[in-house]
Copies of this chain bind each other. A is one copy, B any other.
Amino acid sequence: MEKTARLGLERVARPRLYEQLVEQILAYIESAQLKPGDLLPAERDLAERLGVSRATLAQALVALEVLGVIDVQHGTGAVLARRPSVASVVKGLREHQSRLPEIVEARSTLEVKLAALAAERRTDQDLAAIDNALDVMAQEIGDGDRGTHGDELFHQAITGAAHSSVLAQLMAFIAEMILETRMESLGQPGRPEQSLASHRKIAAAVRAQDPAAAADAMLAHIELVSDVELLR
């Protein structure tokens, strides 16, 4: 057979042992009512209880450490990080990824701010990138396309013009969530022309270096797009 599994929406499951261990340890932490600062059982002990080797347990602990759930200290043991909330957050995310409204909300928060910053800080170069994105989008729409590529370029250009790498990182983070929840297919406004018009409004405010107007225009744009999304 070919790649049925690959193109399928549901990955047929990944039998990585360490992932199961992460779940089990998370469950154990919850059931044992462990508080931040408490120690997990010793590796040798835990490995035996879970019926795996220390090497595999070590992988699970690395995963938990990267996730921010624990802090492994040489000679002492694995102590729970002060934020067990992260654990539940991460877990909750994997379970019900149906938080579309929340994601739209977060995106809105960031992009409105980014638009305002872009208006303050944009260089002529940034402006050129924004204009280029608008041109691409107009071209695509003219060809009967939805203009998604141009749309993406536009938001990237705005993000770039804001000159804040930290906010840019947060946007990248959200962009990933959007992809992973397969929301990208929702991002199709009913009227591309309308979307293009609101983009132009944002661009104009950025060009005029008017932060308040840029923020308002971005907010209006996102509300427009979100409305369409919710119609589905």
Q: Which residues of A contact B (CB under 8 A)?
A: 14, 16, 18, 55, 58-59, 62-63, 65-68, 72-74, 83, 85-86, 89, 92-93, 99, 102-103, 105-106, 109-110, 113, 117, 156, 164-170, 172-177, 179
Contact = CB atoms under 8 A, between A and B. Distances in A.
Contact of A74 (B14, B18, B83, B172): B14
Nearest to A92: B165
Given A63-B66, A67-B66, A172-B68, A166 B58 contact: no
Contact of A169 (B74, B89, B172): B89
A16 B58 CA distance: 12
A170 B173 contact: yes
A169 B173 CA distance: 10
Copies in the complex: 2
A73 B166 contact: no
Contacts of A66: 62-63, 66-67
Given A63-B65, A105-B164, A106-B167, 16 more contacts: A55-B55, A55-B58, A59-B59, A66-B67, A68-B172, A83-B176, A85-B156, A86-B172, A89-B172, A92-B165, A99-B166, A102-B165, A103-B166, A105-B166, A109-B109, A109-B113
B174 A166 contact: yes
Contacts of A85: 156, 168, 172
A127 to B, nearest CB: 19
Contacts of A176: 68, 83, 86
Nearest to A86: B172
- Chain B CB count within 10 A is highest, among A93, A165, A173, for A165
28 contacts: A18-B62, A55-B58, A58-B59, A59-B59, A62-B63, A63-B65, A66-B66, A66-B67, A68-B172, A83-B172, A83-B176, A83-B179, A85-B168, A86-B172, A89-B172, A93-B165, A99-B165, A99-B166, A102-B164, A102-B167, A105-B167, A106-B167, A106-B170, A109-B109, A109-B167, A166-B174, A166-B177, A170-B174
